Chains A and B, each alone.
Chain A
Amino acid sequence: MKNSKILIAIMALMFVFLIGPFVVIIISSFSNDAVMRFPPRGFSLQWYEKVLNIQMFQTTFWMSLKTGLAATFTALLLGVPVAYTNVRFRYPGKNVLELFFSSPAIVPGLVIGFSLLRFFIYVTQVPILLGLYLGHTAILFPYTVRVVSASLRNFDPGIEEAAVSLGSTPLHAFFAVVLPNIRSGLVAAFILAFITSFNNVPVSLFLTGPGVATLPIQMLIYMEYYFDPTISALSSILIVLTVIIVQAAEKLLGISKYM
């Protein structure tokens, strides 16, 4: 079929465009040149060594990790009850409330970070770190609601009703029957939310400052001053980690259906 050959060609080109840059970055990270030159003229591991020796990258990596974990846990704690209510019950004004709960996904991240900075840091003198945590929680919240809702919709409410009719309290049924059955949805929500937070720039941009920075923000700062392949090496590490997580999550959970 002639048509499908054209389709395959378009798709192949698309994947070259999407994945090619990753290959380029990984190759360039092994360069022995101090300027970004491609193809590199020789091989070295010096940029990886440099990444490990720059203290700021380590500090900000831990900051990103802690912010991501804290915000993801909070977003799940807030999001699971909302998802459960929206999937199980009908109530008046449900559409409006669904829109209300998804609004942090619609407002640009840059504006969320900016407004938190203006409001909390300047008006109420809240520490910037708390602002960072709140901003990340706000953007992850709709994410967790959506992913957990999707997995709740695939869970037969009859099983939960059976538990209640057999004498379980609704609360006990929720923890003993519902939660274990949507485990993979919860794990998927956790992974997606954490990665979203870990990679986030727009919200963090205004909520970081002297002494408080996340890894992506620190990478942007470094790039303003240096043009060597250090960022290539750091990016390569992040890419390889992402490949491992995405592959595992797709194999074990089929994460693409939650996105």
Chain B
Amino acid sequence: MLLLGPGAMFLLLFFFSPLLFVLAESLRGAQGQVTLARYGEVLSDAQFRIVFVRTLKMALIVTPIAVIVAYPSAYLMTKVSAGKKSILMSLVILPLMTSPVARTYAWIVILGKYGIVNQTMGALGLFKEPARMMYTEGAIIVGLLQLFLPIMVLTLVSAMENVQEEVEEAALSLGSGRIGCFFRVIVPLSFDGLIMGVTLVFTGCITAYVTPAILGGAKVLTLATLMRQEALVLMNWEAATVIAVIMIATTLLLYNGLRLFKPRNLV
């Protein structure tokens, strides 16, 4: 028990107290009374609503695409030889370990005014004028997808590693087709990993800062960039505090909400 002391102390002092302080601040009225007035102000603000809905929408687009791309890839990665798997795994880890600023910057080179897409389309005569792709929701979605795909792949690979080869072979020898086997055996048996991956990617999309900051700028704000703008540009600490609490609430809600999907009856 003694061993947990220093760590617990650290978290209580430097992690939980600041969070509770911010929560208390968000509920404190002008005369020191407890009030929800600040939440009312932020939630009724038209800009906040647009940004909140946009952030959720982008997470709702990125997450399913990540699942669709990552599932087959992760499945293949559990089937190849150990040597090949090691190479593929390091290709998945590499982007995860690289500075998100560097990774996101690449999309400026690709989507920018004189970037690859515009140059190629121009050369082919498909675009008469360079198309504006930077500072759009689409650019942020592409950036988020590149940011979070590796997390989905890693989570699914470790979930599918636990599916025994024999179970799959049994299904196949009992007359199940490859596709049927995938959806009725592999997916249910790796469902916990799927839920974990979805949770990580979805909450990641909602709280990501670097991607929307670089690819959306001040034109296409998300919750994270709006919070930064309120705090550091507009010096509206009250609004930033409320947005911070809303971000935690959304994250916790998702973490606990998605846990309900654990399919106990299947395993």
- A-side residues, CB < 8 A to B, are 1, 3-4, 6-8, 10-11, 13-15, 17-19, 21-22, 24-25, 28, 35-39, 77-79, 81-82, 84-85, 91, 97, 100-101, 103-104, 106-112, 114-116, 118-120, 123, 134, 137-138, 141, 145, 195, 198-199, 201-202, 205-206, 216, 219-220, 223, 231-232, 234-236, 238-239, 242-243, 245-247, 250, 254-256, 259
Contact = CB atoms under 8 A, between A and B. Distances in A.
A242 B150 contact: no
B90 A85 contact: no
Contacts of A18: 91-92, 95, 146, 149-150
Interface in B41-89: 69-70, 72-73, 75-77, 86, 88-89
B172 to A, nearest CB: 12
Contacts of B89: 250, 256
Nearest to A10: B72
A141 B7 contact: yes
Q: Is the interface of B mostly helix, strand, loop or mixed?
A: helix
Contacts of B97: 195, 199, 242, 245-246
A104 B3 contact: no
Contact of B247 (A82, A110, A205, A220): A110
Given A15-B91, A19-B91, A138-B11, A199 B98 contact: yes
Contacts of A4: 76
A235 B96 contact: no
5 contacts: A18-B92, A19-B91, A111-B207, A114-B241, A219-B105
A201 B244 contact: no
Contact of B3 (A82, A111, A201): A82
B103 interface: yes
B114 A35 contact: yes
B231 A85 contact: no
B17 A119 contact: yes
A135 to B, nearest CB: 8
B110 interface: yes
A137 B14 contact: yes
Interface of B: 1, 3-4, 6-8, 10-11, 14-19, 21-22, 25, 69-70, 72-73, 75-77, 86, 88-103, 105-110, 112, 114-116, 119, 145-146, 149-150, 153-154, 178-179, 203, 206-207, 209-210, 213-214, 224, 227-228, 231-232, 237, 240-241, 244, 247-248, 251-252, 255
Contact of A100 (B8, B98, B251): B8
A141 B11 contact: yes
A37 B122 CA distance: 13
Contact of B10 (A3, A91, A137, A219): A137
The 7 lowest CB-CB distance pairs between A and B, nearest first, are A21-B106, A235-B102, A108-B207, A119-B18, A81-B3, A115-B18, A37-B114
Contact of A25 (B86, B102, B114): B102
A35 B102 CA distance: 17
Contact of B93 (A3, A35, A235, A256): A256
Contacts of B72: 6-7, 10-11
A201 B69 contact: no
Contacts of A106: 251-252, 255
B21 A119 contact: yes
Contacts of A219: 99, 101-102, 105
A243 B90 CA distance: 9
Given A17-B146, A255-B93, 15 more contacts: A11-B77, A15-B88, A15-B91, A21-B146, A82-B4, A85-B4, A103-B11, A109-B209, A111-B22, A115-B21, A202-B207, A202-B209, A220-B210, A220-B214, A231-B105
